[in-house]
Amino acid sequence: MNTKSHNQKTSTLNHQPSTRSKGLLIRPVIEQHSAAPASSTSTTAAVAPQAPTPAAEQSKPAHVRPYVNFQERDKNRALSTERVLEILRRWMPKQFAQAEVVGQWVWITFDEQPVEQVRAELSQLGFHWNNNRKCWQHPCGQFRTEPSPDDPRQRYGSVMASVAHATA
């Protein structure tokens, strides 16, 4: 009797290895596959056959979520405003074009929800989502424990990142 038959489930990794993209690790999704059923001459109890998977479902690629290293993210939250703007300008130019400097913080506002990869990259850089102000914010080492009741744009002023980066 062959012990590797009889629908023995084996875990295999998706054919994509872990990769590193702009400081982000991408974790492959683990899929469950079953081995081919045993021959009909086996002396052990019969196992009910499983229904075949539709062809469309088999060809669909597995969803891969970006990995955020939270220890590195916490360190990145202490970066200076100039350093955050330099990283955005170099690695995320579309987000740099949308960024504004409010006081010493960097804010990025999107017209619609950005794709998951962009959200993960912003998070890895040290940004967090502010649900009240509907924007991604980076504290640039200036942490506050209580939220400001006033609009920080009114209190500290606001300038687009491209202008702030050019004058720095």
pLDDT tens for the 168 residues of the chain, in order: 444 444 444 444 444 444 444 555 555 444 444 444 444 444 445 555 565 555 555 666 777 778 889 999 999 999 999 999 999 999 999 999 999 999 999 999 999 999 999 999 999 999 999 998 899 999 999 887 777 778 888 888 899 988 876 765
Residues 57, 72, single domain; the answer is: no
Residues 45, 125, single domain; the answer is: no
Residues 85, 141, single domain; the answer is: yes
Residues 79, 20, single domain; the answer is: no
Per-position b or e across 86-98, b if 16+ CB within 10 A of its CB: ebbbeebeebbeb
Do 16 and 64 form a contact (C-beta atoms < 8 A)?
A: yes
pLDDT value at position 25?
Answer: 54
pLDDT value at position 15?
Answer: 43
Do 33 and 12 form a contact (C-beta atoms < 8 A)?
A: yes
Other Cβ atoms closer than 10 A to 21:
12
- Domain end position, chosen among 66, 88, 115: 66
Edge-first strand listing for the sheet containing 99-102: 128-130, 135-138, 105-108, 99-102, 158-160
Residue 4 lies in a domain: no
Residue 25 lies in a domain: yes
The domain total for the chain is 2
Residue 91 lies in a domain: yes
Residues 49, 17, single domain; the answer is: yes
Instruction: List the domain range (segments joined by +) for residue 60.
Output: 9-66
